[in-house]
C-alpha cells in the first residue's frame, strides 16, 4: 500500500487528498506521480476509473505557482464532457490553494464569452484541441509560460482527428515544458506522438490485478436485423427471462440516424429513452447527459463518439444494438459497465451478416463468445417503463451566484419536499438542473415557481 504522504506534495494538496477520502494511491498514481513530480515526461496507459485525473491533477498543481498570473498548465481532452470532468476534478484538488484560476475552453460553445473571460490569463486551461488552438492563434491565450502540457485520452484525440491541432498547439507554447500523456491504448500513432512531443519519457503501464478485474458478463444474441428493435425492447423490459429490467442501460448504435430511430421507437414503446450523438447541439447533449446521469432517463442510445468522456460510475447494462466495427471499440463499449468493482452485463445483438465482426472480437479475446439463444416476440401491449426521476431546469446558474445548497434549501424549505425526494443537482454557468422523484415533480415545480430561490424568482420548467 502506498499512501500519498510518501510524496513530496504541498500540504494543501495532501489536505485535499485527505478531504476527498483517498486513502491509498491507485496503481497508476503510485507509478506515475514520483516521476511526474520530478519533472519528467510521462506516458501512462490508463483507463477512465484508474485515478489518472488525480494523478496528473496533483502533479500539475504541485508545479503551479498561483502567485504568478500567467497561463502555466494546458490540459487537452477529446470531448467537452471529459474537459468538464477534468476541470471539476482539478478544482476539487486545488480547493486549499488560494486564487487558482482555471478556465475550460471547448468547441461547440460561443467564442464571445470565452474571449471575455480571457482578459486575464488563467493559470490552467482545460479544453479541446480545436478551440485551444484557435485561442492561441488569435492571441487571446498566451502559451509562452506553459510549464506542463497534459494530453488526456490521447488515443481518443487522435481518433477524432486532433493530431494536427495538437502539433500546432505545441508549436505555439513554451519550448521547455513537461508533457504528460495519458492514453487507454498504445497504438503505433500514440507511440509516434510520444516520440515527437516527449523527451525521454517514463513509461507507466498498469495491469489490473486479477482480483480487480471487473466482473463483466458478456452475452451475444444472433438476431435478424428486422427483429433487433423487438429484441432490444424485450431485453430492456426484462421479458422472457432477461434479468435486466428496470436498470439503466446504454445502447450503442454504429450510425447517428439509427441512434435517433432506436431512441424514438423505444420512446414510442413506453421507455424513457434519449438519443445522444454528434449532430446535436451542445446544449441538447448536455441536457441529455444530465437527464441520464440523474436518472430521469433510463435508456441512453448513443454513438461511440458521443459516449466518449461519459463519466457514469456504475452502469449495470450496456447493449450493442449493432456490433462494433472493430474489437477495440467493442472493448470500450463493454468497459462502460462493471466499473468500480461492480458487476455488469454487456449484451451484443448480432445480425447474421455481422458474424465476421464477432469472430474478430473472439480472436482478440482468445476465448469463445457466449452465444445465447433469444426468442424474439413482437411486443403486444405498451407498458410504461418510466424513469424514477424527473429533471427541472432553473434558468439561473453560477453567474447568478446560485449554488446547489440554495436549490436544496428552496425545495426542502418553502416547497416542503423531503431531501430523499431530491436527486442530483447540477449548477452550470447560466442554468441549473435538479432531479426530483417523479411523483413529486409537479409539486416541486409549482412550489419553485410560486416561491423564491435565494430571495429571487427564476424561471423554472420541466425538461422533457
Ligand atoms: P479517473 O480515472 O481519473 O476518471 O478517476 C476515477 C475515480 O477514482 C474518480 O471518481 C476519483 O475521484 C477516484 N479516485 C482517484 N484517485 C483515487 C484514490 N487514490 N483513491 C480512491 N479514489 C480515487
What is the tens place of the pLDDT at every residue in 60-93? Answer: 999 999 999 999 999 999 988 899 999 999 999 9
User: pLDDT of 103-135, one tens digit each?
Assistant: 999 998 889 999 999 988 999 999 999 999 999
Ligand 1 near 339 CB (within 6 A): no
In ligand 1, the atom with minimum distance to the C-alpha of 313 is: 10
Q: What is the pLDDT of residue 207?
A: 66
Domains of the chain, first to last: 4-205 (3.40.50.300), 214-365 (3.40.50.300), 389-462 (3.30.70.330)
- The rounded Å distance from CA 362 to ligand 1 centre is 31
Least Cα distance to 162 among 85, 90, 88, 82 occurs for 82
CA 74 to chain centre: 19
User: pLDDT of 302-326, one tens digit each?
Assistant: 998 888 766 665 678 899 999 999 9
User: Which helix (H) or strand (E) covers residue 250, if one does?
Assistant: strand 249-252
Mutate to test the pocket of ligand 1, among 19, 23, 53, 93 (most ligand atoms within 8 A of CB): 53
Ligand 1 near 30 CB (within 6 A): no
Ligand 1 near 52 CB (within 6 A): yes
Strand order in the sheet with 124-127: 102-105, 124-127, 73-76, 148-151, 178-183, 42-45, 202-205
Supply the pTM of this predicted model. 0.58
Residues 6+ apart with CB under 8 A from 237: 245, 271, 379, 383, 385
User: pLDDT of 384-398, one tens digit each?
Assistant: 788 889 999 999 998
Ligand 1 near 77 CB (within 6 A): no
- The rounded Å distance from CA 314 to ligand 1 centre is 13
Ligand 1 near 298 CB (within 6 A): no
What is the rounded CA–CA span in Å between residue 291 and residue 289? 5
Ligand 1 near 16 CB (within 6 A): no
Amino acid at each position: 500500500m502506498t499512501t500519498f504522504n510518501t510524496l513530496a506534495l504541498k500540504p494543501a494538496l495532501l489536505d485535499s487528498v485527505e478531504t476527498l477520502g483517498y486513502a491509498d494511491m491507485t496503481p497508476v498514481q503510485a507509478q506515475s506521480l514520483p516521476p511526474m513530480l520530478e519533472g519528467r515526461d510521462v506516458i501512462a496507459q490508463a483507463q477512465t476509473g484508474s485515478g489518472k485525473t488525480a494523478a496528473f491533477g496533483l502533479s500539475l498543481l504541485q508545479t503551479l505557482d498561483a502567485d504568478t498570473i500567467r497561463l502555466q498548465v494546458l490540459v487537452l481532452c477529446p470531448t467537452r464532457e471529459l474537459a468538464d470532468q477534468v476541470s471539476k476534478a482539478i478544482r476539487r484538488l486545488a480547493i486549499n490553494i488560494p486564487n487558482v484560476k482555471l478556465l475550460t475552453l471547448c468547441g461547440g460553445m460561443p467564442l464571445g464569452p470565452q474571449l471575455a473571460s480571457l482578459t486575464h490569463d488563467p493559470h490552467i486551461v482545460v479544453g479541446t484541441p480545436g478551440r485551444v488552438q484557435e485561442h492561441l492563434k488569435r492571441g487571446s491565450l498566451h502559451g509562452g509560460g506553459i510549464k506542463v502540457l497534459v494530453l488526456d485520452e490521447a488515443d481518443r484525440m487522435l481518433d477524432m482527428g486532433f493530431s494536427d491541432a495538437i502539433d500546432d498547439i505545441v508549436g505555439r507554447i513554451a519550448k521547455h515544458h513537461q508533457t504528460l500523456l495519458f492514453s487507454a491504448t498504445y497504438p503505433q500513432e500514440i507511440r509516434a506522438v510520444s516520440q515527437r512531443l516527449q523527451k525521454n519519457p517514463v513509461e507507466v503501464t498498469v495491469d489490473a490485478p486479477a482480483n480487480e478485474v471487473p466482473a463483466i458478463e458478456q452475452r451475444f444474441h444472433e438476431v435478424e436485423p428486422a427483429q433487433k428493435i423487438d429484441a432490444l425492447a424485450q431485453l430492456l423490459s426484462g421479458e422472457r427471462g432477461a434479468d435486466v429490467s428496470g436498470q439503466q442501460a446504454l445502447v450503442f448504435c454504429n450510425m447517428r440516424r439509427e441512434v435517433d430511430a432506436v431512441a424514438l421507437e423505444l420512446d414510442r414503446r413506453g421507455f424513457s429513452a434519449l438519443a445522444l450523438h454528434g449532430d446535436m447541439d451542445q446544449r441538447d447533449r448536455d441536457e441529455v447527459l444530465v437527464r441520464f446521469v440523474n436518472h430521469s432517463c433510463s435508456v441512453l442510445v448513443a454513438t461511440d463518439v458521443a459516449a466518449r468522456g461519459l463519466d457514469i460510475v456504475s452502469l449495470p447494462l450496456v447493449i450493442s444494438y449493432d456490433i462494433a466495427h472493430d474489437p477495440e471499440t467493442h472493448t470500450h463499449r463493454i468497459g462502460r459497465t462493471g466499473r468500480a468493482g461492480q458487476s455488469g452485463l454487456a449484451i451484443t445483438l448480432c445480425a447474421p451478416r455481422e458474424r465476421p465482426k464477432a469472430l474478430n472480437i473472439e480472436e482478440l479475446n482468445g476465448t469463445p463468445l457466449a452465444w445465447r439463444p433469444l426468442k424474439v416476440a413482437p411486443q403486444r401491449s405498451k407498458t410504461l417503463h418510466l424513469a424514477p426521476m424527473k429533471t427541472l431546469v432553473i434558468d439561473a446558474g453560477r453567474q447568478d451566484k446560485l449554488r446547489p445548497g440554495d436549490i436544496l434549501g428552496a425545495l426542502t424549505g418553502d416547497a416542503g419536499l423531503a431531501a430523499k425526494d431530491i436527486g442530483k443537482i447540477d449548477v452550470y454557468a447560466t442554468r441549473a438542473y435538479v432531479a426530483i422523484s417523479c411523483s413529486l415533480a409537479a409539486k416541486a415545480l409549482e412550489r419553485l415557481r410560486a416561491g423564491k430561490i435565494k430571495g429571487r424568482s427564476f424561471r423554472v420548467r420541466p425538461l422533457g
